Structure formats: C-alpha cells, structure tokens
Amino acid sequence: MPWIEANANVAVTLTVNGVSHRLELDARVTLLDALREHLRLTGTKKGCDHGQCGACTVLVNGRRINSCLSLAAMHGADNITTIEGLGTTDALHPLQAAFVAADGLQCGYCTAGQICSAMGMLEEWRAGWPSHVGEHAPAEAITAAEIRERMSGNLCRCAAYPRIVEAIQRYAGDEGAST
C-alpha cells in the first residue's frame, strides 16, 4: 500500500541546554537524531540505536534516558541536558575533568554517554534510590560496586571501566566533601 506522509510531521520545541529550538520534524525522528542531525549537537553518540549501549544517554528533566528510544515529538515540555551543556574544553565540568585525569576514556565514543549517565546516576543515588546491589542511606558515599552496577547500561568496548569508576568515585567524593 502507498504510504502517505501528509500527517506524519510534527512541530516540536526542544529545550536543550537551556536553549529552545523550534523544529518541524518527521514524526519518526528520535530525540537522538534530532540532537545529532537537526541541532548538530553531535556530542551525544549513536552506538546501537536500540537502548543496548548507553552512548546516547542524555538527561531529561534531570533523569538519564537513552535518547535513541524516544521520539523527539515526545519532549516538547522537557528540559534536555546533553554533554554540550556540562562544560567546555577550556572550562571542564569537574566530572569531565575527573574522566580526563583518571583516563576514563580511550576512543571517546561512549564517553559523553558515560558522563551524562554518571550525572543522572549520582542524582539517583542522592535521592536514595536502591539498586540491584542493595539499599543505602542517601548521605552515604557511593561504593565502587554500586557505581559498577548502576553504570552497567553504558558499554565501553575499550573497557575503560575501572578508570571510569575511579573518575566517578573521585568526583563524587569531591562533591561530597564540598557540600
């Protein structure tokens, strides 16, 4: 049967890193493709396009999600934060700096996802959300075992894993010390 696209476009305003963008999009455009292809915010990566690698992780209203498994049209009311919204090469966010210092990256392709995921993950930790590892008091310092479990939705084929854990722990420790 012939496919008719007449009604298959949507208008949506995406608010990304505090900036609103009015877009006319094919309804099929995912949040990930809207960011990368339409807004040219290519810091967010496409690794699998099926929620199986975490490279596309962004924060939506502070919560981490896989942007590949969401339609852009579903996010008109949301505040989206991508890696470009954290720091710049001249003024790194402390978590970004911790990744560089600990060498929590190699090829760099999963890195933005790891960092955004870690931001969201630490917020979940502070909210007292439990994990498969167990329960905790919100004020507790996060352990390596907890970080590993909670970050398992972010694959790294270069396997910077131990150093990503180190970076997150270092950052979380500094945060804890400063608050």
Partner 1 sequence: MMPFEYLRAGNEADALQAAADRPDARFIAGGTNLLDLMKLGIERPPQLIDIGGLDLRTMAETPDGGLRIGALVTNAELAAHPLVRARYPLLSQAILAGASGQLRNKATTGGNLLQRTRCYYFYDPASPCNKREPGTGCAAIGGFNRIMAILGTSAHCIASHPSDMAVAMRALDARVETRQRDGQMEVRALDALYRLPGETPHIDHTLAPGELITAVVLPAPLNGRQRYRKVRDRASYAFALVSVAATLAVEDGMIVQAAMAFGGVAPMPWRDRTAEALLIGQTPSQALFERCADAVTAEAQGQGGNDFKITLLRRTLAACLTDLTGNVP
Partner 2 sequence: MTEAIVKMDTPFADSLLDRVPAPLVGTELPRIDGPRKVTGTARYAAEHFPDGLVHGVLLRAPFGCGRITKVDPAEALAMPGVLAVIRDERMVRNGGGFAGAAAPVQGVEEVAYFGQPIGLVVADSLERARAAALCVRLTFETAPGVFDMVASRETALPPTDDIFGLFLIHTEQGDVAHAASEASALVDAVWQTPSQSHAAMEPHASVAIWQDGQLTLHGSYQSPVVTRDQLATVMGLEPTQVRILSPFVGGGFGGKLGVMPEAVAAAIAAQQLGRPVKVVMTRQQVFEMTGRRPMTYQRLRLGADAAGQLTLVQHDTITDQLTGEVFFEPAGLATHLLYAGANRQVDHKVVRTNKLLGVSMRAPGEAVGQLALECAMDELAEALNLDPIEFRLRNEPERHPETGVPFSSRALVACLKQGAARFGWPTRSRDPGAFRDGEWLVGYGMSSAARGNLFGPSRARVRIEGDGRVTVETEMTDIGTGTYTILAQIVADLLGVELAQVDVRLGDTDDPASAGSGGSWGATTSGSAVYAACSELRVRLAAAAGAPVDAITLAGGVLTAPGIRRPITDLVGNGLAVEGVAQPGESNTRLNQTSYGAHFCEVRVHAVTGEMRVARWSSVFAAGRILNLKTATSQAIGGIVLGIGGALTEELIHDPRSGKVVNRDLGEYHVAVHADIPAIDVHFLEERDSVANPLLAKGVGELGVCGAGAAVANAVYNATGVRVREFPITLDKLLHGLPPLTSATSRT
Q: Indicate which single residue of 13, 19, 74, 108 sits in contact with partner 1 (rule: CB under 8 A).
A: 74
Angle at the Cα of 116 from the Cα atoms of 101 and 149, rounded to 5 degrees: 85
Angle at the Cα of 137 from the Cα atoms of 62 and 110, rounded to 5 degrees: 40
Judged by CB under 8 A, does residue 11 bind partner 2? no
11 or 107: CB nearest partner 2: 107
CA atoms within 13 A on the CB side of 171: 25
Both tokens of 166, joined, read: 């180190």
110 binds, among partner 2, partner 1, none (CB under 5 to 8 A by kind): partner 2
Q: Which stretch binds partner 1 (CB under 8 A): 56-64, 86-94, 104-112, 156-164?
A: 56-64
Distances (CA, A) of 103 to 22, 28, 170: 38, 37, 12
CA 4 to mean position of chain CA atoms: 35
Both tokens of 9, joined, read: 């476009």
> Which residue blocks in 68-159 are alpha helix, DSSP H?
94-102, 111-126, 144-150
78 or 85: CB nearest partner 2: 85
Judged by CB under 8 A, does residue 32 bind partner 2? no
121 binds, among partner 2, partner 1, none (CB under 5 to 8 A by kind): partner 1
Whether the CB-CB separation of 86 and 93 falls below 8 Å is answered with yes
Using CB under 8 A, list all residues that contact partner 1. Answer: 3-5, 7-8, 10, 26-28, 30, 49-51, 54, 57, 63-66, 69-71, 73-74, 117, 120-121, 124, 127-132, 135, 148-154
Residues that bind partner 2 (CB under 8 A): 2-3, 5, 26, 28-29, 33, 36-37, 40-50, 52-53, 55, 82-84, 86-89, 92, 96-97, 99-101, 103, 105-112, 115, 144, 147-149, 151-165
